[in-house]
Structure 1
Amino acid sequence: MAGVYLSAWNSLTLSRDRPEGSISCTAHPAVDLIFMDPSHAHLLGPADIRELAARIDVTPTKKLGQNFVHDPNTVRMILAAADLRPDDHVVEVGPGLGSLTLGLLETVERVTAVEIDPRLAELLPTTVATRAPGLEHRLALIHSDALKIRAEDIQTPTALVANLPYNVSVPVLLHLLELFPSIRRVLVMVQSEVADRLAAKPGSKIYGVPSVKAGFYGEVRRAGSIGKNVFWPAPKIESGLVRIDCFASPDQPWPRDAELRKQLFPLIDAAFAQRRKTLRSALKGHFGSAAAAEAALLRAGIEPSARGETLSTADYVRLAQEVAGEQ
């Protein structure tokens, strides 16, 4: 797969001899940082979106989860909800035709966009140069599947703001949060039902694996609802915004390190694999026996007869830490 490397408009290349996923991003020496009010940005409207798609003969596909935002007010709503700082480095997954990208470039000093569709990846720098001249140096573009991104591909991002592909939204979200502990803020658009699940609290019928795993990284909440008509083509489902304020030192309740996560996430999966069973029964396979599961739960101060849906992320973390301490 070709990789797209952008450090400034004059140095855009489509590289076929560098490994997919690597990037080059160097500020243009002749351009000073300018931060403009997104309300005055040259954002894309419905006619712009259709014209750009026709230019490269793109028909949105369900396989890639492509629904392009064509409403500038929705872009402004996302930017406001993200609460970004001028010095943020934002990762955007699935920039598509550039609706959100343009708003981000006029808000922060650096955006790394990850696009799987080669036609869209090739068009985006042209769109930026035309619609936001002087800001091209802020964009780094990676032509890749977001699930194949590696930690070394993106240097110290501080925020994730994206209209995530709905068919892989949760895996992409968790993958990027795992890779980049530098991320302090997340604002993503996902299917409304998924947004509800991510932000669900213990005891809710929709509380589950995504809720607990997202809660490992920070405080999760719904940040808004998005109607169907702001997209082209209009999807059959409603959309929602989810915001995560990530835990960071010195106030984080537990470390966001790989070792704890390796203990924690399999526990979460096991607890919800048999949702209606007690934790003593649901975790017996994980611990080797029901008796061993009960002993671990009691050491962590958790009632073995409880069900997985009643435990908070903090409860699961405590259990994982107890298990790690016994090893």
Structure 2
Amino acid sequence: MTAPETPASAGPRLLGPADVRSLAARLGLRPTKQRGQNFVIDPNSVRRIVRAAGLAETGETVLEVGPGLGSLTLALLADGHRVTAVEIDPLLAEALPGTIATYAPDQADRLTVVPADAMTVTSEQIGSPEACVANLPYNVAVPVLLHLLEIAPTLRHGLVMVQAEVADRLAAPPGSRTYGIPSAKAAWYAEVRRAGPVGRQIFWPAPNVDSGLVGFERREPPKTEATREEVFAVIDAAFSQRRKTVRSALARWLPNREALDEVLRVAGVDPGARGEVLGITEFARIAGVRAQMPGPDPVSP
């Protein structure tokens, strides 16, 4: 892949609108909705994102998903961090090292590109990143984030850009209108917070939806005798019928009504409550009590 011409300034130099369009034209690239390709074209925005991520001044190993043409990658490198970039598009994965070598030659040795799908990337491929800062593909943002938190226990914190509606769901507390499966499952791994809005005008092409930043700080999951998979099965069942009580919603998960009533009693959960008012601690207690009871395994929703 032919690298772009060397900018007048040796760098690190961030990508502006003309740079992004020039790189895309040189690659013959047309952004696709299928892969959620909306490239950031505003240097001030990527600087703001890196500042908001709260990364250590001494530098961290940062996991970036979907680096695209390298806008955020350059900002992370310029701030003194090492970047492991996971890119599913072979064309972009091949081109990124050349772009970094051109726009930030002194930082190029701190970039590792992993040509892989973030939905299936392995811990062996990404190593031991300490933080995640990324503009996540909007159509798969939640499963990607949950997968990364599961396979990379070294991820202590992070800041990701997602669709505004998804940001609300991820950060929603129990009892709120937007609280649901993404909120509860993310809470298993981390404390999640809304970290600000992002304007449409910073992207090319501009998306048809608003965007938002979500920050997270990893914490230990609730103590339970159940596995993560067993806890997540309870969450899935509880939200499979949002308007029903926990007792009704979990009836398919545990068809034996007497056993279900006993699980809820021991777990200290009101059977008349709805799943949307339960936090991750309550879901973990329900799964943990059931895991210690004799009888057939619960049914997956």
TM-score (norm 1): 0.83
Which of 112, 120, 124 is the aligned partner of 1:140?
112
Per-residue CA deviation, residues 166-189 of structure 1 (Å, 9 max, x unaligned), is 010001000111111111002100
Shift of 1:65: 0.3
Note if contact 1:213-1:313 (Cα within 8 Å) is conserved in structure 2: yes
Shift of 1:255: 5.7
Q: Determine if the alignment matches structure 1 residue 254 to structure 2 residue 225.
A: no
Shift of 1:107: 2.4
Shift of 1:318: 2.0
Matches within 5 A, 1:75-114: 75-85=46-56, 86-114=58-86
Note if contact 2:12-2:105 (Cα within 8 Å) is conserved in structure 1: no
Q: How many Å separate the matches in 2 of 1:313 and 1:260?
A: 13
What residue is the counterpart of 1:175 in the other structure? 147
Q: How many Å separate the matches in 2 of 1:310 and 1:108?
A: 42
Q: How many Å separate the matches in 2 of 1:290 and 1:231?
A: 52
What residue is the counterpart of 2:4 in the other structure? none
Q: Determine if the alignment matches structure 1 residue 293 to structure 2 residue 260.
A: yes
Note if contact 1:284-1:292 (Cα within 8 Å) is conserved in structure 2: no
Q: How many Å separate the matches in 2 of 1:170 and 1:306?
A: 26
Q: How many Å separate the matches in 1 of 2:153 and 2:51?
A: 23
Q: Determine if the alignment matches structure 1 residue 226 to structure 2 residue 198.
A: yes
Per-residue CA deviation, residues 82-126 of structure 1 (Å, 9 max, x unaligned), is 111234111100000000000111224421101111111111101
Shift of 1:75: 0.3
Secondary structure of 2:105's counterpart equals coil
The count of aligned residue pairs is: 283
Note if contact 2:188-2:221 (Cα within 8 Å) is conserved in structure 1: no
What residue is the counterpart of 2:277 in the other structure? 310
Q: Determine if the alignment matches structure 1 residue 265 to structure 2 residue 236.
A: no
- The alignment yields a C-alpha RMSD, in angstroms, of 1.6
Q: Could you tell me the percent identity over the aligned residues?
A: 55
Q: Is the alpha carbon distance of 1:109 and 1:80 closer, same or farther for their aligned partners in structure 2, counting shifts above 3 Å?
A: closer
Shift of 1:227: 0.7
Q: How many Å separate the matches in 2 of 1:109 and 1:137?
A: 11
Which of 170, 174, 181 is the aligned partner of 1:202?
174
What residue is the counterpart of 2:3 in the other structure? none
Q: How many Å separate the matches in 2 of 1:167 and 1:145?
A: 13
Q: Is the alpha carbon distance of 1:322 and 1:87 closer, same or farther for their aligned partners in structure 2, counting shifts above 3 Å?
A: farther
Note if contact 1:84-1:107 (Cα within 8 Å) is conserved in structure 2: no
Structure 1 window deviating more from structure 2 (114-123 vs 316-325): it is 316-325
Whichever residue aligns with residue 222 of structure 2, its letter is W
Unaligned 5+ residue runs, structure 1? 1-39
Q: How many Å separate the matches in 2 of 1:89 and 1:256?
A: 31
Unaligned 5+ residue runs, structure 2? 1-10, 295-301
Note if contact 1:162-1:187 (Cα within 8 Å) is conserved in structure 2: yes
What residue is the counterpart of 2:18 in the other structure? 47
Which of 235, 238, 242 is the aligned partner of 2:214?
242
